[in-house]
């Protein structure tokens, strides 16, 4: 399953539920897998990213399932 998020409410939900540290320029995201337990998440700086766009943040299931507190430097960010 793939879920596309691009509203302000969706991005706030993503921040509240899965990704507490989002770059300020995060405007949309694609959740791969179940919304409640994603396999991975890609974050984009465009509300309507193109297929050719590169995510500004990638988050793996391993990280999402971690209960550790992390800093932005722990993410893969472009």
Distance (Å, rounded) from C-alpha 57 to C-alpha 77? 5
Whole-prediction pTM value?
0.80
- When pLDDT is averaged across residues 28-32 and rounded to a whole number, the result is 96
Expressed as residue numbers, the domain containing 19 is 2-73
pLDDT band at 71 (very low <50, low <70, confident <90, very high): very low
Any domain includes 78: no
Work out how many domains the chain is built from and give that number: 1
Residue 26 has pLDDT above 70, yes or no: yes
Show Cβ contacts of residue 65 under 8 Å, excluding neighbours closer than 6 positions. 37
pLDDT of residue 62: 79
In a domain, 34, yes or no: yes
Dist CA 16 CA 14 (whole Å) = 6
Q: In what order do the strands lie in the sheet with 28-34?
A: 2-5, 28-34, 37-44, 57-60, 76-77
Q: What percent of the chain has pLDDT over 70?
A: 82
């Amino acid at each position: 399953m793939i879920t596309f998020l691009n509203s302000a409410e969706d991005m706030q939900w993503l921040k509240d539920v899965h990704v507490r540290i989002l770059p300020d320029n995060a405007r949309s995201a694609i959740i791969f897998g179940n919304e409640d337990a994603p396999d991975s998440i890609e974050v984009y700086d465009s509300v309507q990213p193109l297929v050719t766009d590169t995510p500004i943040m990638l988050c793996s299931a391993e990280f999402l399932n971690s209960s550790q507190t992390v800093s932005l430097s722990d993410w893969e960010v472009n």
